[in-house]
Structure 1
Amino acid sequence: MKTSDFNFHLPEHLLAEHPSEHRDEAKLMVLNRKDQTIEHKLFKDVVDYFDEHDLFIFNNTKVFPARLYGNKEKTGAKIEVFLLRELDKETRVWDVLVDPARKIRIGNKLFFTEDESLVAEVIDNTTSRGRTLRFLYDGSYEEFRAKLKELGETPLPKYIKREVEPEDAERYQTIYAKIEGAVAAPTAGLHFSKHLMKRLEIKGIDFAEITLHVGLGTFNPIEVEDLSKHKMESEEAIIDQKNADIINKAVEEQRRVCAVGTTTMRALETSVSSNKKIGPYHGWTNKFIFPPHDFGVANAMITNFHTPKSTLLMMIAAFAGKDFVMHAYEEAIKNEYKFYSYGDAMLIL
């Protein structure tokens, strides 16, 4: 498989700038792999495709307000700082991206408040835009994290050109988000409302949760034509024994097991053993899933519509079949489905 095999023309107006008015009323395209059929529904209809004791597996990661704006010492130039990951809790050292990067060198200081209560010093270069910062703040760790949240902005994807709006803080977060650590939302989960979750529960559908802290690397463009040479950035994944047991029971009973999102699927495929069992897992994964791939746990999945030549599209093609998925994307464009983070959804059975 080559990167160019996953190219298609995506009209710019189909990139969703806003979420649907109600979470569970986005469009839903249903792909049946066995029958090779496509149906057009609303997301709230997803409940009709599952029975008692079928299982939904959710990614409970929580997005933190990772985008900060500071000013460079002396010049006062405005610098965007995108928090990627905390490297050392004690010394408050973080990996970040900075923009514009050409102005930021080792030794520079950035000021985030007028009273200079929060300052960061650049201590290393990691990539062309990547830097390592040590934050200087006279307060406890809890107060420091509270200050980051106060100053931070919801990290909407760069393709969204509008200003961040107050409701984005709530809508760019799943309703079941619990464990903070993501810099991008697990977007398939954004379509679940409290009402829909209650309907699933009443029908007797089971739930399990895993954690995969979504990083920006998921969205990095592939720079090589040979997919086997692409390297994914690592993301932290956590599966505890309780949820592993729930997942294994559903697999053993041959229930429908639905991975909600590509991030959930990546965590499952990282931790599954050769005998199709999930074990407890806490580590980092850079697993890149592309055709052909033998999936070990989920036999259904929910996902959004992805951009051309993206690693996310390649995972979907591995699960549903490349030709079927590319045909479905043609149908999605023809029927004006919205793409990407705030876009519409696909259920693959």
Structure 2
Amino acid sequence: MKLDVNDYTYDLPQEKIALYPLAQRDQSRLLVYHKGAVTHEKFTNIAAFLPPDASLFFNETKVIPARLLFQKETGAEIEIFLLHPIRPSTLLLEAMQVTGSCTWKCAIGNLKRWTDNITLVKKINNLTLQASLENKQEGIVTFTWTNNVSFAEIIQRAGDTPLPPYLKRNSEELDKERYQTVYSNQEGAVAAPTAGLHFTATVFESLKQRNVAVDFLTLHVSAGTFQPIKVQDPLDHVMHQEQVVVSRENIENLLKGKNIVAVGTTSLRTLESLYWFGAKLLVNPGANFTISQQDAYTYNEPPTSTAALQAVLKYMDESEKQKIVGETSIYIVPGYTFRIVNALITNFHQPSSTLILLVAALIGDDWKKVYHEALLNDYRFLSYGDSSLLIPK
């Protein structure tokens, strides 16, 4: 398989990028791609365009205020961007509840101004947060704080909303609410699953009226989601790893579902990763729930989706688990065969990105038609932009 990144780019004028959300979430526009045809709708009407017997799977991760700004006594500002926890737990759910001290891998702005022996201090009302550089090269930072409160509460008080870099603006008060889905529940993402930003109570009611099944799983979106492909052959790109949490109920609903619609690329990557975990279990019952970017391309005779999902259920039965936590670096590119997902709800993505390749894997070269139509009709692009419903031929 030969790919060229130049085949997955397009011209995105700066003025097409939505810098702010619309006043009402569900009033965004919806481009519907179905059987090769494109129509233009309002997102609030999405229920009418879903496949029959659709089951929607949402990513209920919650964005954490991952940007922490510290000021040295000299006045120099150091930005610490939380990437993923290291100690005392690598599980985001547990890491958020830690009290007293924890260690994270971070991206650090103005790192050259932070010498190893300097402890940064940030005071927030009656709390004091300290940051010590444990490994400068690796970006490993240990945080300690006063009072018996969780790390989640600390960063809620001390941190800023981590807006995507392409918005080129500082976060504002409105972003605390709007760069979050209305159903966000599990803290741990450093970027929003933006396909879900359009959903409101009104839209959920319309889904209910049409007997559309809904379910919620978790992929904690990492900063790697914004990383462009910088090599000519996209297969040489190193995919970022993200933590996923899947429940027994998720798997049972997948087994009885007919038309599986992923709300966002993160939900899609979770569902397809779940399939490959099941495929690995059928070969090796002791396999770990870790999906590499190559795993989906190494099987000569992949199992049916039913067999793979039932293997995961068997694994959960034997280990007496109601939920499983895994890591995925799944890389979905043209040539990939979708095992679980039948349709996708998603925003419009950056040129030369892994997400464009994912869309191209789903609808083929028609991704160019979809993006041409969106540009021609003044759709708003990227995180705060408009939406699309993509149903492959």
After TM superposition, the score normalised by the length of structure 2 is 0.82
Aligned partners of 2:52 and 2:259 also within 8 Å: no
Indicate the RMSD between aligned Cα atoms, in angstroms. 1.7
Aligned partners of 2:66 and 2:160 also within 8 Å: yes
What is the aligned partner in structure 2 of residue 344 from structure 1?
386
What is the aligned partner in structure 2 of residue 11 from structure 1?
13
What SS class does the counterpart of residue 152 from structure 2 fall into? helix
Note if 1:92 corresponds to 2:95: no
Note if 1:256 corresponds to 2:298: no
| Unmatched runs of 5 consecutive residues or more in structure 2 | 89-97, 280-302, 314-323
| Unmatched runs of 5 consecutive residues or more in structure 1 | none
Aligned equivalents of 1:125, 1:235: Cα separation in 2? 23
Residues 212-291 of structure 1 correspond to what in structure 2 (within 5 A)? 212-250=219-257, 255-272=258-275, 273=279, 274-277=303-306, 278=309, 279=312, 281-291=324-334
What is the aligned partner in structure 2 of residue 326 from structure 1?
368
Aligned length in residues: 337
What SS class does the counterpart of residue 81 from structure 2 fall into? strand
Residues 101-112 of structure 1 correspond to what in structure 2 (within 5 A)? 101-112=111-122
Aligned equivalents of 2:118, 2:339: Cα separation in 1? 48
Q: Per-residue displacement from partner, 1:51-110 (whole Å, max 9, x unpaired)?
A: 6742000001111111111013x4231111111122113641011111123323433322
Aligned equivalents of 2:189, 2:333: Cα separation in 1? 23
Q: Which amino acid aligns with 1:41?
A: E
Residues 115-194 of structure 1 correspond to what in structure 2 (within 5 A)? 117-126=128-137, 131-142=139-150, 144-194=151-201
Q: Which amino acid aligns with 2:135?
A: D
Aligned equivalents of 1:275, 1:283: Cα separation in 2? 21
Percent identical = 36
What is the aligned partner in structure 2 of residue 195 from structure 1?
202
Higher mean C-alpha deviation, range 218-227 or range 37-46 = 218-227
Aligned partners of 1:51 and 1:204 also within 8 Å: no
Aligned partners of 2:164 and 2:226 also within 8 Å: no
What is the aligned partner in structure 2 of residue 40 from structure 1?
40
Aligned equivalents of 1:37, 1:53: Cα separation in 2? 21
Q: Which amino acid aligns with 2:181?
A: T
Q: Which amino acid aligns with 1:88?
A: R
Residues 20-99 of structure 1 correspond to what in structure 2 (within 5 A)? 20-32=22-34, 34=35, 36-50=36-50, 53-72=53-72, 74-89=73-88, 91-99=101-109
The change in CA–CA distance for 1:161 and 1:331 in structure 2 (over 3 A counts) is same
After TM superposition, the score normalised by the length of structure 1 is 0.92
What SS class does the counterpart of residue 167 from structure 2 fall into? coil
Aligned partners of 2:57 and 2:217 also within 8 Å: yes
Aligned equivalents of 1:247, 1:106: Cα separation in 2? 50
Aligned partners of 2:79 and 2:108 also within 8 Å: yes
Q: Which amino acid aligns with 2:238?
A: K
Aligned partners of 2:130 and 2:144 also within 8 Å: yes
Aligned equivalents of 1:70, 1:308: Cα separation in 2? 34
Aligned equivalents of 2:63, 2:368: Cα separation in 1? 30
The change in CA–CA distance for 1:145 and 1:54 in structure 2 (over 3 A counts) is closer
What SS class does the counterpart of residue 155 from structure 2 fall into? helix
Q: Per-residue displacement from partner, 1:17-58 (whole Å, max 9, x unpaired)?
A: 0112211111111111x3x11001111121102367420000
Q: Which amino acid aligns with 2:55?
A: L
Q: Which amino acid aligns with 1:219?
A: F
Aligned partners of 2:70 and 2:120 also within 8 Å: yes
What SS class does the counterpart of residue 305 from structure 2 fall into? coil
Aligned partners of 2:195 and 2:346 also within 8 Å: yes
Aligned partners of 1:231 and 1:288 also within 8 Å: no
Q: Per-residue displacement from partner, 1:261-311 (whole Å, max 9, x unpaired)?
A: 000011111111431133364210011111011001111110000010011
Q: Which amino acid aligns with 1:136?
A: T
